[in-house]
Amino acid sequence: MKDISVILINYNSSSFTINCVQSILKQTKSSLNYEIIVVDNASKFEDFSFLKTELEKLNIAFIKIIRSKLNTGFGGGNMFGIQFANAKYYAFVNNDTILQNDCLKINFNFLEKQTNASICCSQQFNENEEVQKSFDHFLSLKRELFGRSIFEKINPKKYPKRNKIYSSPLKVQAVPGSFLVVDAENFHKVGGFDTNIFLFYEETDLCYRVSEKISNGGSYLVPEGKYIHYKGQSTGKSMAIKKELKISLLYVIRKNSGYFAYQTLRWFLTLKYLFKSIIKPSNFKLFYLFLMGAPISKSLKQQQTILKK
């Protein structure tokens, strides 16, 4: 059994995947027994072919590349990947990240010593080396209605500031999916990622379920580890992606907070985007989505087709 199985998803962004793998190889100490599993999530054949060729050039036995002929999204792709993993911990790493130090060993050591932790992450920076939000508060109705800032001011112990550099480990509610290390046994106990979600909020949902169902299910920021995240390289910022974000938002709210919270937020957003669409007509599509209830049936997941090659 390995110490850590690193799982990366590639979707039409092979150059980022290659750079990410190279940063892992460069920064990770040889004392850590790890493997890298790259899941190609139904990319165009040219992108997959280039990725496969470049990874094979490395000629490293512990790097595996697996191709899915169906794009199953973030959670689904990672769940596909863990079927080929055998480790005490899983590290889910976005392919558009570059490790700045030995994040894997740092987080491994932390989880080995911290008895009340099941999930942890490193400090996140953007390409300009500016600190980014490296954790979040649980998705809830009050968070969406009133915003995060007010709770960070009222109760900073429970809701620490997110956009800040920390010097010591910090217990948080949820960590980002861009770099997430989790105890494999506890991950399996809660069912892993919810594959009903195609994109967005999978990690928030995972952290919530682990904290609720596992006695030592705490999530932590371990700021000693540092990485750069080039956001959105596989998703972009299209209207379809914006709609997917809202579908996942309401799905997770309903799942973890109940029907009343879902309906309250749904109608709040319906009215909000009705007025927004008057100023910016493109928002009408989001208004209509909320009016329909933002059903999971409208997810991009339902539009995926199996590749022929």
Tell me the per-residue pLDDT of 115-142, one tens digit each, with 9 for 90 and over. Answer: 999 999 999 999 998 999 999 999 999 9
Query: Rounded to an integer, what distance in angstroms lies between the CA atom of residue 31 and that of residue 147?
Result: 43
Give the whole-angstrom CA distance, residue 294 versus residue 286: 9
Q: What is the pLDDT of residues 276-286, one digit of tens each?
A: 999 999 999 99
pLDDT per residue as tens digits for the range 184-224: 999 999 999 999 999 999 999 999 999 999 999 999 999 99
Residue type, 236: G
Rounded distance, CA 295 to CA 270, Å? 14
What are the residues whose beta carbons fall under 8 Å from the beta carbon of 127, sequence distance 6 or more? Answer: 228, 230
Distance between CA atoms of residues 93 and 228, nearest Å: 11
pLDDT of residue 237: 74
β-pair type (34-41, 2-10): parallel
Residues 160-180: what's their mean pLDDT?
A: 95
Could you tell me whether strands 63-68 and 218-229 are parallel, antiparallel, or unpaired per DSSP bridges?
Answer: unpaired
Give 116's contacts (C-beta < 8 A, 6+ positions apart): 216, 218
Give the residue among 128, 212, 136 at the shortest CA–CA distance from 178. Answer: 136
**203, 220, 238, 273 from 277: Cα distances, Å:** 30, 39, 17, 6
Cβ pair 229, 97 in contact under 8 A: yes
Q: What whole-number percentage of the chain has pLDDT above 70?
A: 98
pLDDT at 280: 94
Q: Which DSSP helix (H) or strand (E) runs through 20?
A: helix 14-27
Tokens coding 237 = 């910022």
**pLDDT at site 233:** 60
Strands 97-99 and 117-125: unpaired
Q: Lowest mean pLDDT: which of 19-28, 233-242, 255-264, 265-274? A: 233-242
Chain position carrying tokens 């709210």: 253
Say what the pLDDT of residue 235 is.
Answer: 62
- Mean pLDDT score, 31-36: 96
The two structure tokens encoding residue 242: 């914006």
List the domains of the chain with CATH numbers: 2-229 (3.90.550.10), 239-303 (no CATH)
Residue 168 to residue 302: CA distance in whole angstroms: 43
Question: Residue range 25-41: average pLDDT?
Answer: 96
pLDDT of 241 higher than 60? yes
Neighbouring CB atoms inside 10 A of 29's CB total 11
DSSP 8-state class, residue 196: T
What does pLDDT average to over the chain?
Answer: 95
